[in-house]
Structure 1
Amino acid sequence: MSYKSNTERGSYFCAVCGSFFTRKYHVTIHMRTHTGEKPYSCEICGSSFTMKHHVLRHMLTHTGEKPYACEVCGSSFTQKQNMLKHMQTHTGEKQYSCEVCGSSFIEKQNMVKHMQTHTGEKACSCEVCGSSFTTKQSMLQHMRTHTGEKPYSCEVCGSSFTRNHHMLQHKRTHTGEKPYSCEVCDSSFTKRQNMLRHMQAHTGNRPYSCEVCDSSFTLRQSMLRHMQIHTGEKPYSCEICGSSFSRKQHMLQHMQTHT
């Protein structure tokens, strides 16, 4: 085992990278980041994990069990942290703030990701096409556009998706669930983005402006899509004939002409 004890500090450290830990068990788990060891396997699909509680959490994707329920609306979740995160949509709590512009966020990872819009940092690159991304997760999700992998499947109709939250959003078309409600008129929506877009109709707020023609938009995504009119950018390409499109929806519609 590649660790050493530091009795003066009452801690253990990794002999490979020098990271310190308070418990011997923690450095044992950490070492798996160097060795790649994943000793815990799912009995159903064979996926392997570095920690036992990770495989137990993964098993819930097969059983469909959702042991954590929201006390406000009854929505249920496979993980406690997801339930707590969901609860913040009711309380409106945003405990993480950007030090540069003051924007606040429910999740720390979203705040960290937002900070990169100020620094311009894109630390992760795609090995296939060289596209760069602010987070490893975004890069891995992008890689699926090359591999065609769609690991998340709907249990009702079998439709598959590249991202878990896309699959969860899709499942609401079967259940009719609309967990996001407007505070002004009580209209409800399947997607948080649609609820926020609807809220702008009450406030009239259009915080995102085009730098070229000063058109303003309720959503950043709408502004970026509009900018493609000026830049001529067409980031979505047909894998069969190479035709390119400014919107993913248009590319997918075009793909149907081949199938």
Structure 2
Amino acid sequence: MSTPTGRISKVFQACEEASSSTSKAINHRYSCEICGKTCLNNANAKAHMRTHTGEKPYSCEVCGKSFANNFDVNVHMRTHTGEKRFTCEICGKSFAYKSSVKVHMRTHTGEKPFPCETCGIAYPTSSSLKTHMLTHNTEDKVYCEVCGKGFANNSQVKVHMRTHTGEKPFSCTICHSAFSIKQSLESHTVTHTGNKPYSCEVCGKVFPRLSYFKIHTRTHTGEKPYSCEECGKSFSTNGILKIHMRIHTGIKPFSCEVCGMRTTTYSAAKQHLRTHTGEKPYSCEVCGKTFAQKTNAMIHLRRHTKEKPYSCNVCDKTFATNAELKSHMRTHTREKPFSCEVCGSRFSNRSNVKEHMRTHTGEKPYSCDICGKAFASQSNAKVHMMAHTGEVR
């Protein structure tokens, strides 16, 4: 039978053996001679050393790309197999890498962890920040040969060139619609899947991405967070601001194939081309009248429906177009931004200037069908006609 003293002695012996084993394990850890980092085993130490040597002994069997370890090869293979094992819990979009899901989640949360140290604007990814930094440092930019716009690298210039060439290499497998960038195609595919998790509480319209939803809400709030440094005019999106800036810079990157006329936007170039072709692809659902521009067709339709969606916040008068509302607002503000080049007289809208110019030129384009008398304005011609018809004004 063992004595209490003997049992205590065995416990101390076991503790010493455990301590000795732990000490040996610590002594067998490997320390990097370059940076001092410790590794648990020789294999980890070898893998770590490749971060210093740049050695990449593992290669992809498909494309030959090299990697520092076998794990990275296995992850890379997903670019060839199309495997996307990581899914966003909010919108269901799938990704090949777990890190991609983390970055994608920022489109839902609005998180922007990469701020610019110069101006404070924050971005969701480090690559977006790097691109932005070029606006402060122009030395490393790559410039477009057509319009002179600067970019971070040649690949961005290649994508940008599609705005000049009209190339659209990404097409939808369902409806065959084509797009110039992959992101636009991805956004388009939502129209087929119907997955739109963001809903507007005001009008009920739904959106596939938080960024689209945020831009839409500004149509209700009137918020315009992007302002022009030249003239102070504000815009709801940065993209519209960039297009506006071409007014000040004089950049017109799009040219007409027929007459060479240059325009600031691709859509304006397409519309201009119809002045040569005579194409009018937009038609009125009521009377069948055709138009070269979609906006003109929409405005015309309101003449039938009597819809006037733009209202004055001073007198509640409504208008069919925003341009008409702006012109009306000047009756309240007394603003007269248009002036006559001959005498300097000022007017609230451009049409009044055009009519006033006839007092200098003597032009009278409106004539009476009965007596042939001519008038400088259409309103005066109408008043004159009442003298013949007996109509009371």
- TM-score band by shorter chain is 0.7 to 0.9
Seen in structure 2, the aligned counterparts of structure 1 residues 117 and 204 have a Cα distance that, compared at 3 Å, is farther
Q: Is 1:193 aligned to residue 267 of structure 2? A: yes
SS at match of 1:256: helix
Separation in 2, partners of 1:16, 1:193: 35
Larger radius of gyration: 2
User: Structure 2 counterpart of 1:202, which letter?
Assistant: H
Percent identity for Structure 1 against Structure 2: 43
**Aligned residues of 2:164 and 2:254 also touching (Cα < 8 A):** no
Q: Is 1:148 aligned to residue 241 of structure 2? A: no
**Aligned residues of 1:14 and 1:31 also touching (Cα < 8 A):** no
Aligned match of 1:132:
205
Show CA shifts across 1:93-152 (max 9, x none): 22344667655443456567777889999775333x225255544542232234333222
Separation in 2, partners of 1:131, 1:143: 11
Seen in structure 2, the aligned counterparts of structure 1 residues 213 and 160 have a Cα distance that, compared at 3 Å, is same
Q: Which stretch has the larger CA shift, 16-25 or 247-256?
A: 16-25
Task: Calculate the aligned-residue CA RMSD, in Å.
Answer: 4.0
Aligned match of 1:68:
142
**Residue 216 (structure 1) shift:** 0.9
Aligned match of 1:204:
278
**Aligned residues of 1:13 and 1:19 also touching (Cα < 8 A):** no
User: Structure 1 counterpart of 2:203, which letter?
Assistant: G
Separation in 1, partners of 2:188, 2:231: 35
Q: Which stretch has the larger CA shift, 20-29 or 88-97?
A: 20-29
**Aligned residues of 1:49 and 1:55 also touching (Cα < 8 A):** yes
**Aligned residues of 1:96 and 1:111 also touching (Cα < 8 A):** yes
Match of 1:235 among 309, 315, 330: 309
Where does 1:46-125 land on structure 2 (aligned, <5 Å)? 46-60=120-134, 63=136, 65=138, 67-71=141-145, 73-78=146-151, 83-97=157-171, 104-107=178-181, 124-125=198-199
Paired residues, number: 248
Match of 1:181 among 249, 255, 265: 255
Separation in 2, partners of 1:84, 1:166: 22
Separation in 2, partners of 1:110, 1:84: 16
**Residue 162 (structure 1) shift:** 1.6
Separation in 2, partners of 1:120, 1:26: 23
**Residue 86 (structure 1) shift:** 3.3
Aligned match of 1:172:
246
**Residue 225 (structure 1) shift:** 2.2
Q: Is 1:219 aligned to residue 313 of structure 2? A: no
Q: Which stretch has the larger CA shift, 199-208 or 166-175?
A: 166-175
SS at match of 1:130: coil
Show CA shifts across 1:134-181 (max 9, x none): 554454223223433322222323332222233223222222222211
Where does 1:31-42 land on structure 2 (aligned, <5 Å)? 38-42=112-116
User: Structure 1 counterpart of 2:322, which letter?
Assistant: K
Q: Which stretch has the larger CA shift, 81-90 or 201-210?
A: 81-90
Aligned match of 2:16:
none
**Residue 46 (structure 1) shift:** 3.7
Q: Which stretch has the larger CA shift, 79-88 or 118-127?
A: 118-127
SS at match of 2:258: coil
- After TM superposition, the score normalised by the length of structure 1 is 0.72
Show CA shifts across 1:35-80 (max 9, x none): 765432233454433322233334445x274923223x14214566
**Aligned residues of 2:197 and 2:207 also touching (Cα < 8 A):** yes
- After TM superposition, the score normalised by the length of structure 2 is 0.51
Aligned match of 2:328:
254
Seen in structure 2, the aligned counterparts of structure 1 residues 183 and 232 have a Cα distance that, compared at 3 Å, is same
**Aligned residues of 1:13 and 1:27 also touching (Cα < 8 A):** no
**Residue 214 (structure 1) shift:** 0.7
Aligned match of 1:162:
236
**Aligned residues of 2:198 and 2:213 also touching (Cα < 8 A):** yes
User: Structure 2 counterpart of 1:43, which letter?
Assistant: E
